[in-house]
Amino acid sequence: MEFNEINERDAAELGAIVAPQRISCGESSCALHSKDQSSHRAYVPGAVIWPLSAEEVAKIVSYACDRLMPVTAWGMGSSLEGNPIPVCGGIVLDFSMMNRVLAIRHEDFQADLEPGVIYQDLNETLRHQGLFFPPDPGARATIGGMIGNNASGSRTVRYGATRDHIMRLKVVLADGEIIEIGNRASKSSSGYDLVHIFVGSEGTLGIVVEATVKLTPIPAEFSAAVASFPSAEEAASAVFGIRRAGLDPVALEFLSPECMELVSREQGISIASGPAVFAEFAGPSASYLAETVVYAEEICRENGSLKYEAGIGRDRRDKLFRARHSLGEMIIRSHPDRKIMTTDVAVPISMFPSMIAFADAESRKTSLPRYLFSHAGDGNIHLVVLGRKDRESEIRTVEELNSRIVMKAIELGGTATGEHGVGIGKRIFMEREHGKSLEWMRRIKGLFDPKGILNPGKIFP
């Protein structure tokens, strides 16, 4: 696909659509929107625009469609697979100024949001009403980015992914048409489910300019526990045991010894040496939780746990969660000379112990620094193995390892990406994962975006 570059006249016309101060072709703005938190290389856009309304977005996209220019939506740039990197240049739409909470209808457990709302800020607002928006990717992500990516995180094991919380969307399509899809009823069998085509489409089919999301009551009581194990595989078996028993944790995380050391060193949280499982339970009463935690302990002991620390209070739990959420950043900081590549496979939970064992053994063979961590309750595994940026052979080793792990996950009935999206890095696995249905994804792309201007260079190999 040949795109046009943004010239001075384009910049002036686009500036007239928004306001001159809400478009920038300057070096620093463009550099700031040239890469996300992944290690994928930067591509500098031609212009960054900060829209204020659906109508502005529609006009910009319509202009870009006429002039054959790429348009890439941008939330916080916190994604991990190059999803919003403008690899073909063009316009980046930064949604940070479209960040209004339009309505909270607490009685319906719903909120109407602009895409630039940051989910932690939303949850801070909702806290006083006893509600929250459950998907939690950890990073300071925007709702728009989360929808684009079908983001999920440590609470997904109980509450589902972003996909499960989107009721209605307003979307700007590739020619600038605005459509509304879905509705506010808690269920519907009316026509085709367009909402879920857009959720997880990484801005390649349309640009979300408003969303109605489903909220959830905050449970009355929480209780957390940490258990350590002699091996990763035993820890993984305990995770499987907890899920199989139907204990319904709100978080069930796995951390390798290297992660535990890093957390201990950087955050001064010392819990367990060996591979560890962090479990959190929530429920209507303390007595119910006490039972659950005891049951979880039994399962951990049966799987060889060395230490089980239960009854972790809210402060320590919050600290642990923050540490878990900043693990990626800590790894980056600790290894400035190394390239970060994160696997993000997910497998059916029964396959989790063998998947963890495989990832553990294979990564060990490389002798490179490595961190294995996992939203274990979902069977979602992240492995970071670090090759030096200037050692081509190490980078190749890591890439080959990543590839073997993805292939294994697909073979076990799983997926190449549990939550980071396809972006740039997972495109090479799409054929393998989806087979003939990839062609149907391409056709849907062709239907909604025949000129291919929306976030080009993503998802498809």
Q: 330 near 262, Cβ under 8 Å?
A: yes
> Does 411 engage in binding with its own copies (CB under 8 A)?
no
Q: Does 189 bind its own copies (CB under 8 A)?
A: yes
CB of 119 to its own copies, least distance (A): 16
Applying CB under 8 A, among 86, 418, 456, 457 the residue interacting with its own copies is 418
CA–CA–CA angle 208, 213, 216 (5° rounding): 155
Q: Does 379 bind its own copies (CB under 8 A)?
A: yes
Direct distance between the N- and C-terminal alpha carbons of the chain, in angstroms, rounded to an integer: 14
CA dihedral sign, ordered 378, 132, 213, 145: negative
CB-based contacts of 93, cutoff 8 Å, min separation 6: 49, 50, 51, 57, 60, 71, 72, 73, 74, 207
Is residue 450 within the footprint of its own copies (CB under 8 A)? no
The answer to whether the beta carbons of residues 386 and 340 sit under 8 Å apart is: yes
- How many whole angstroms separate alpha carbon 203 and alpha carbon 93? 11
Q: Which stretch binds its own copies (CB under 8 A): 40-48, 227-235, 375-383, 449-457?
A: 375-383
Which residue from 35, 40, 59, 420 is in contact with its own copies, where contact means CB under 8 A? 420
Give the one residue of 179, 286, 294, 361 binding its own copies; rule: CB under 8 A: 179
| The binder of its own copies chosen from 287, 337, 390, 450 (CB under 8 A) | 287
11 φ/ψ angles, rounded to the nearest 5 degrees: -60, -40
d(CA 397, CA 415): 22
Smaller CB separation from its own copies, 333 or 443? 443
**101/438 with CB nearer its own copies:** 438
Least distance to its own copies from the beta carbon of 99, Å? 23
| Count of residues of this chain found to bind its own copies when the rule CB under 8 A is applied | 86
* Residue of 41, 100, 244, 333 interacting with its own copies (CB under 8 A): 244
Q: List, in sequence order, every beta strand (DSSP E) within 300-391.
A: 307-312, 338-339, 345-346, 370-375, 380-385, 387-388
Q: How far is the CB of 194 from its own copies (least distance, A)?
A: 6
Residues in the chain: 461
Calpha distance 383→262 (Å, rounded): 15
Residue 177 in contact with its own copies, rule: CB under 8 A: yes
Q: Which of 161, 208, 299, 327 binds its own copies (CB under 8 A)?
A: 161
Figure out which of the listed residues 10, 94, 419, 449 binds its own copies, where binding follows CB under 8 A.
Answer: 419
Binding span for its own copies by CB under 8 A among 21-29, 38-46, 257-265, 280-288: 280-288
Provide the token pair at 173. 């399509």
**Interacting positions 11-70 with its own copies (CB under 8 A):** none
